[in-house]
Structures are given as C-alpha cells and as structure tokens.
A and B are shown apart, each in its own frame.
Chain A
Amino acid sequence: MGIWKKSVLAAGFVALMCGSALSQDKPFEGVQLKMLGIGDTSVTRLAKITSEFEEQTGAKVQIDMLPYPGLIDKIIIEASSDKPTYQLLWVDSPWVGMLGEAGALQDLTEYAKRDAAEIGLDDIIPVQLQENSWQGQLLAFPASGMIWHVNYRQDLFDDAGEKEAFKAKYSYDLAPPATWQQFHDIAEFFTRKKGDKLAGKVLEQDFYGNAESYSRVQGAITHDYFPIMRGFGGDYWDPATGLCAMTGEPHVKAAEFMKSLVPFNPPDYLGLMWDIQSGYMERGETALSGYWSVRTVRLTNPEEAKLPTLGKAGFSGGPTEDGKPQPTYTGSLSFAINAKVSDQEKEAAWAFIKWGTGEKIMRRLADEGWGISQFRKSILADPALQEKYPYYKVLLDTQTNARRRIFHPFYADVEENFGVELSKYMAGETATAQEALGNACTAVNSRLSMFPLEQRLRWINDAPVTVLQK
C-alpha cells in the first residue's frame, strides 16, 4: 500500500472516529424541538439560554410563548391533531387530569425512574410530583412550584406610627395575617385616600389595603377563591358521589370573605387578572395581596418591580379561619411531552426537561437574580438563598404541608362556571354567595351526573404517583 493510500485511509478513519465522538457528544443533532409555552417566569428565564442546551445536545429548541388566556385552547387543538407540531407542552397542573384522560401527554414515569439520580428526584418536594400526576402516572415535570400565599408591604408593617395606630384601632399587634379576620383588618386599616398620610408621607394617589384577583378571565377569580376556600376548610368534591360539593359553610364563608374585601380593592377589581393584580403590589400601591408565588419572584427584583426601590416586600403563608396551619393548595407550572411525537423526539424532549428543570439551572437562575418559584428542597432550604429571597422559606414550609390543586378532567367547566358566578356575586348581580356557588355547582354537576358513579369517583381519586414509590 502506497503512502498516499495509507494517508487517505488514516484520515478517513480519524474522520469517522471524530464524527462518531461528535455524534455521541451531541446525541440529538438534527432534532428540532418546539415548545408551546407561556410568556411567564417559568419559561422566559429559560428561553434566554436554550442555546446552551443546543450546544450540549445538538437539538434545536424553539419556544413559542403565548399569554395564559388561550394557551390551553392551543394545547387542546394540538393534542387533538394526529400530526403534532409541538413536542414540548407547557402545562398548568390543573390541566393534567383533562389532558391525561384524553391521552395527550406522555407518561414520564419510566424516564424519571431511569434518570432518578440525574434529575435529583428526591430533591423535589413530593407534592410537586403528585401535582403533575394523573391516576398515578407522572404526566408532566415541575418547572416552577407554586403556592398561594400572602405578599405584604414589610416597610409599612415595620413603621412605628402605623403599628401604633393599628394597635389602637384593633387592639392587637400589626403582623402578617394568620387569620382571615386579621387579613380583613389589615386590608381595611391600610385603605387610604389621596391626601391621607401613609407611614408619615402624604399620598399622591389612593392607596389600596388589598388587591385580589376578581377577574373572571381564565378563571382568575376561581383560582384565588380555591385557596381561600381551603383556608376556611373547604374542598372541591363530595367523596361519596364525585360531584361538586362547593356549596357548604366553608365555601360560602370564603366567597363572602372575598366580597368583604371589595371596598379595600382598586375600583377596577372585577378586571384584576393575575398580572394586573400583582402589578399593584409590584408598584407598591397596595398593602396586602394574596397570590400565586409564580409572580412573587418579581417582588425582589428592581428590574421587574418598583417595590424594592420604594420599600420592602414581606411574605407569609395563607391565613386560615382559626389561625392554625391548614394544608393549602399548591400548584405547578410544568413541562410535558406530547404523546404523539416520535421516540427520538420524546428522548430529546425529556433531555430538555432534565436540563431546564435541573438543580444546576435552577440554582444558576436563583444566583443571577432571575427568580423562579422553586420546587427543589436543596435550593429552598439554602440559607444564603433564603437570605436573598425571603419567600423561599415560605415556599418550603407551605409546599411541604400542601395538598394538590384541582385535577379533574372537567376542570375547565369548574373554572369557567365558578369564574362567571363568583364574578357576578362580587359585582352584586347575584344576591348571595350560596346562590352563586349553587348555580356554579349545578352547572358542573349537570355534566358530571351523566357519568357512572365509578367513573366520577375515579376522577376525584388522587392515586399516589408511582414514581415516588420505592
């Protein structure tokens, strides 16, 4: 063999080896992943750095970010198509039952078991995995763990004059509310008009004691009513019939409580969708606001909220009727894989989920100040991070003692019917809370009662997620 022939052969062999090494380095070279996502913190943070995933794996990722209202519509249409466009789907945990019963989402149990060490399965707060399960199958993976809790103006609560005035009026110390009555008192106390004084300064505009979500759009009012209802000791379903049971005493009390807060809310209260509601706290225009922690993360970042430049945000768990801790509802904003995509795309999508929700990325986002409502124990319990983000302790404590949120296949009926009826009640169109809740439950039950009891009971049964079973 001549020297030239040998050289060509050697070069070919080297090229082959390099190519093989390269393809092992980038196992998903040529794979295109598309995610149907939301334009909120659980996605926006990650969207900025997806090129790093592409560099590592070779898979190209395109994230289409849509507003929350209307996103589920696109996902259902995508799920009903035989030719999927999106491999990755952003999922709010209440949708899991509806999408799970429709067979739209890939079961991630085997993937998670296989890669348990890599994803740090034991590091995830268990309720976050339960939250993403349907009939024991893990159908989505948490990308942001939520809890409904209270955000308040810590600087106002610390003001000596305000503290003194509060004690004089209510005969107890001003502190984060442990009971709903205290929540009401604080909201009432801090409701001030333009020209009044707040912490010694004359107000240039009205100041609101409270800002809650009362908008019916995408069931915002429903999702804020549910944790309040839970705080009063209520729950969704009748365990004997599998039908809507939200007409009892705790449910009525919760709705009446929400209505009692209306005078302390901005005049556009019926239009307060989550982003508008949290905007009041972010701009420092309200004293107290209970909302989902996915937006709380903005309160410590002066690039996203004005509050850190005006004062300081404080954080506490949701109140209860008697002040004794009660498991509240949690939530999860998660990533799921479209069940209809190819096996290779599923593997690539799972690799993306592992990368995007892993401890390394989560810690990096926390370190850089781009907070995500975290769901990993190691991050939430980190003293340095707790110092930086005081809400981490609240997230850890409340999620550890939480119950999963609604997960029923008829979730959309619940969300919409309660949204409309509660909105009408808050607006004074329906006379009593009992009537409003009765109307909503009747509408939900009119559909559910057509199904056999066995099926209804299966839908409300929260089977333990098998991925956590040893």
Chain B
Amino acid sequence: MGYVNRRNRTIAGVFLLPTAAVLFLTTIYPMLYALYLSFRNYDLAKPFIPRIFVGLANFQEVLTSGPFLHSMLITFKLMGVTLFFQFVIGVGLALLVTQRLPGMAAIRTLLLIPMMISPVIVGLVWLFIYFPELGYFNYFIGLIGINPIPWITSTQWALTAIAIADIWQWTPFVMMGTAAALQSLSPEPYEAARIDGNSNIDVFLHVTLPQLKPVLISLLFLRAIDAFKIYDIIFVLTKGGPGDATETIALYIYRQSFTFWRMGVGAAASFVSLIIISVLITLFFKSMQKSAAAR
C-alpha cells in the first residue's frame, strides 16, 4: 500500500513538473528578479550608472511621487466608473437574456463576443471609432448636426472614451456570471413573493438581489482586480495622454521601465501595485467567508 502511495506521488510529481517549471520560469523567477531590481538603481539604457543596492529608495520615490499618486487617482476613478456601469448594464442584460423569449440564446452568444477579443484589438477597434477626423462616432453624430468630439485627444473626454471601451468589453463578463447565477436561483421565493403581491421591482430588490449577492461580490472583485491592471486599451488609444489624463498605474510602471528605462523604480512601482491588488484579494476572500457564514 505504502509502495503504491509512494509510486502515485512520484507519478503525480512527474506530471506536475512541466507545469511547475513553466510557472517558475514565467512567473516566479521574473517576480523574484523584479523584487531584486526594486532594491537597485538599474537603468537599462545607461549601463554607466552603477547598478547598486539602494535599499528602499525606489519604493520611497514611488510612494512620494506626484505622478504615481496621480496615476493611482486615475486608476481608481476609471475603476469606479467602469465597474458601476458594467454592473448596472451587466445585471440588466442578464435579467433580459434569462427571459424565455425567442432568439435569446443567439443574443446571449452575440453579447459575449467583446469579452473574447484581445484588449489590444479592442483598443484598435475603438481607435477607428474614436479617430477624430475619420472615426465612425464623429461621423454618426455629425449626421445629427453635432460637432466632432475629440474623444481621445482632449483631457475632458479621453478618460470617458477609455471607460466606454472598457465597459463595452467587460459588461458581457458581468452579464454572463449574473445570468448563470440567475438560472440557478430557486423558484420558491419568487412564487411566495408573487403570492404576497410584490411588484417586479420589489421582487428584484428583495428576492433576486440578496440571492445574487455572493456572485456579484465575486464578479466585482474579479473585475476590480482586472480594472486595476488596465493597460492595453489605454496604450493603444492614448498612451496615457493627453498630458497625463489617462495615465493609470500600469502606464506609470511602463513609463518608468521602458521610457525612462528605470527598471528599479518600475519594479518598485509594480510591487506597490501588487500589494494593493493583494489587499483587494484579501478583502474579497474575507467578504466571501462572511457571505458563506451568513448563509
């Protein structure tokens, strides 16, 4: 018996080895190397600058830097707006597509398409839509007599333009998760609520929403973590500009690492960002545990 167990463990280990190796090479080693860099004065473009140990200086610089704090503000602003609309529209769509109406299955599939496209492609699609002179958006609003809007080239509109693109791409994710949850809800509370004469809004607020809460919290945290890392769409559409109007934390890290070539500062900013994401994840699990305990 012991031999069989030992042999099974060995076989399991052999099967796990490729995954562990890939994980080590693509995630663990780069992370450890980034941690090493975050404590050094490392400028890739200037090998004449001594790549010395600088302690926490890079972290101190990041945490006291105006542009970093600004990028944090932009990130949370974008996160707040996109999550709000993704959830309002996503839940609304989920309620719609779970109705037993003809063609709903096809509509549901079509609505999922944006989520399946790579964010870089989404960025390029929206670049065509927003393009100031030749873009579709300005063409269509021009037909109803509205002047062209500098969607991605004005500090007033650029963040909104990015939020619209992100909402378009990720609302289906919320819709899909919510729709799955809706379909698994037990019908009894609904029957009871209807017998009691509750309106549809009351049913939604007091029956559906409480039952959806654990799923919505899960979706919220998953989306929040993703929104915190937003990079691709912004890089394609505005590269953080105009000015620094759309510079999120990911763009700040990119700029430090690949524009100024300050790999140490970029790595330190990445770790600060990692800590923030870790706090979000911790909150997520705590809230999950609370929900589970309440049930």
Give residues in A with beta carbon < 8 Å to B: 69, 73, 76-77, 80, 98, 101-103, 215-217, 266-272, 409, 412-413, 416, 420, 423-424, 427-430
Contacts and interface: CB of A to CB of B under 8 A. Distances in A.
Contacts, number: 84
A360 to B, nearest CB: 36
Contacts of B261: 76, 412
Max count, chain B CB within 10 A of own CB: residue among A216, A268, A409, A424: A268
B152 interface: yes
Interface stretch (B118-126, B180-188, B241-249): B241-249
Chain B interface, DSSP helix/strand/loop, else mixed: loop
A101 B260 contact: no
Interface of B: 44-48, 132-133, 147-148, 150, 152-155, 239-245, 255, 258-261
10 contacts: A76-B44, A80-B45, A268-B132, A270-B242, A409-B46, A409-B48, A416-B255, A423-B241, A424-B155, A430-B243
Given A216-B243, A424-B243, 14 more contacts: A77-B44, A80-B44, A98-B46, A101-B46, A215-B153, A266-B132, A267-B132, A271-B150, A412-B259, A412-B261, A423-B241, A427-B154, A427-B245, A430-B243
B153 A268 contact: yes
Contacts of B46: 98, 101-102, 409
Given A76-B261, A268-B133, A270-B150, A423 B48 contact: no
Contacts of B47: 80, 102-103
Nearest to B154: A270
Contacts of A420: 241, 243-244
A267 B148 contact: yes
A272 B155 CA distance: 14
A51 to B, nearest CB: 33
A452 B148 CA distance: 52
Contacts of A427: 154-155, 242-243, 245
B150 A267 contact: yes
Max chain B CB contacts within 10 Å: which of A80, A103, A420? A420
Contacts of B244: 420, 424
Contacts of B258: 73
A187 B261 CA distance: 39
Contacts of B239: 69, 216-217
Nearest to B132: A268
Contacts of B154: 270, 427
Contacts of A268: 132-133, 148, 150, 153
Given A73-B258, A101-B46, A216 B241 contact: yes
Contacts of B255: 416
Contacts of A271: 132, 150, 152-153, 242
Contacts of A272: 153
Nearest to B45: A76
In the A-B complex, the 9 residue pairs with the closest CB atoms: A268-B132, A271-B153, A424-B243, A270-B242, A268-B153, A270-B153, A216-B241, A427-B155, A423-B243
A412 B150 contact: no
B150 A429 contact: no
B243 A429 contact: yes
Nearest to B44: A80
Contacts of A413: 260
Contact of A216 (B44, B133, B242): B242
Contact of A412 (B45, B48, B133): B45
A76 B257 CA distance: 12
Nearest to B151: A268
Nearest to B257: A73
B133 to A, nearest CB: 7
A267 B148 CA distance: 8
A297 B99 CA distance: 62
B48 A266 contact: no
Nearest to A415: B259
A412 B48 CA distance: 16
Given A80-B47, A416-B259, A416-B260, A270 B241 contact: yes
A414 to B, nearest CB: 11
A306 B149 CA distance: 25
Contacts of B242: 215-216, 270-271, 423-424, 427
Nearest to B258: A73
A412 B43 CA distance: 12
A268 B147 CA distance: 12
A382 B150 CA distance: 45
A428 B132 CA distance: 19
Contacts of A217: 239, 241
Contacts of B245: 427, 429
A69 B241 CA distance: 14
Contacts of A412: 45, 259-261
A470 to B, nearest CB: 32
A101 B255 CA distance: 21
B124 to A, nearest CB: 13
Contacts of A77: 44
A28 to B, nearest CB: 30
Contacts of A76: 44-45, 261
A7 to B, nearest CB: 62
Which of B46, B147, B154, B241 neighbours the largest number of chain A CB atoms within 10 Å of its CB?
Answer: B241
A192 B137 CA distance: 24
A77 B258 CA distance: 10
Contacts of A103: 47
Nearest to B239: A217
B150 A215 contact: no
A270 B156 CA distance: 12
